[in-house]
Amino acid sequence: MKSERKLRLRRLLRYGLRRTLILPMDHGATQGPLAGLEDMRAAIDGLRGQEVDAVVLHKGGIKWTHDLLCEQRQLSVILHVSASVRLSPRADYKVQVATIEEALRLGADAVSVHVNLGTDGDHAMLETLGRVAEGCDRYDLPLLAMMYPRGPGVHEFGEAEVALAARVGQELGADLVKVNYTGSAESFRRVLSGVTVPVLIAGGERQETPGELFEMVRAALDAGASGVAVGRAVFQSKKPKAVLRGLHRLVHENGTVDEARREAGIAA
């Protein structure tokens, strides 16, 4: 791995624990103006002073907020190159909508690709992942692969399915892999035993409370996860900044669930 890529990865996996807290904010291309992301400039500006390592944005989101992103020097920017829209009869089929060259022109620190394994069109999404991985190798950009088991009859949170998704992401060249949490530290530890790249957990099935989110994150970290990439559980919560403070306590300070609750001002 070349020095440029190592430096970019070091920014993503910061602090002594080499963990990361990523906030995906790319949902608008699929879902439209979700609550919490109606005004992207306000959403990005609201991250000032928050211990977030990176945001995931589509190219339009980077363009609209470029000045605000430049003012937050600690914040890495990940260009998401996959998209689909919820109105499509094949909404789980993601297509490539941006290139590595665009990522460089926009000043992105990394790129991400979304692959749904088990759905119609997964072969094309795998082809996209391989193509983007080659471009990342050529230009020394880290690659985050968002790998989800998804489709008719597919258990999205099953251990075997998530283990497959994580391994496929690594095999096709990702530097980091984002997957669903399998529901227990024991099963997730077995998932991690099959890969060597850092693995992040997604928000998974929507947590009812921030406390439940903290419990899931703590268990995943105990199993060996390298961090989280959680979007809606943060920006659609009643107190996004409080949730981020709690997540930071867990991810970067190795705090307990109770400490995260207190940091977020949430009663046990």
- For 232-266, how does the pLDDT look when each residue is reduced to its tens digit (9 = 90+)? 888 888 889 999 999 999 999 999 999 999 988 88
**What is the model's pTM?**
0.94
* pLDDT on residue 264: 87
Give the whole-angstrom CA distance, residue 91 versus residue 263.
Answer: 38
* pLDDT on residue 67: 95
Model pLDDT for residues 20-30, shown as the tens digit of each residue: 999 999 988 88
The CATH class, in words, for 3-263 is: alpha beta
Mark the ranges of the chain whose per-residue pLDDT is less than 70: 1, 15-16, 204-208, 267-268
* pLDDT on residue 204: 63
Could you list the active site residues? Answer: 148, 178
* pLDDT on residue 205: 61
Give the whole-angstrom CA distance, residue 169 versus residue 195.
Answer: 9
* pLDDT on residue 66: 96
Domain chopping of the chain, boundaries: 3-263
* pLDDT on residue 214: 95
* pLDDT on residue 127: 98
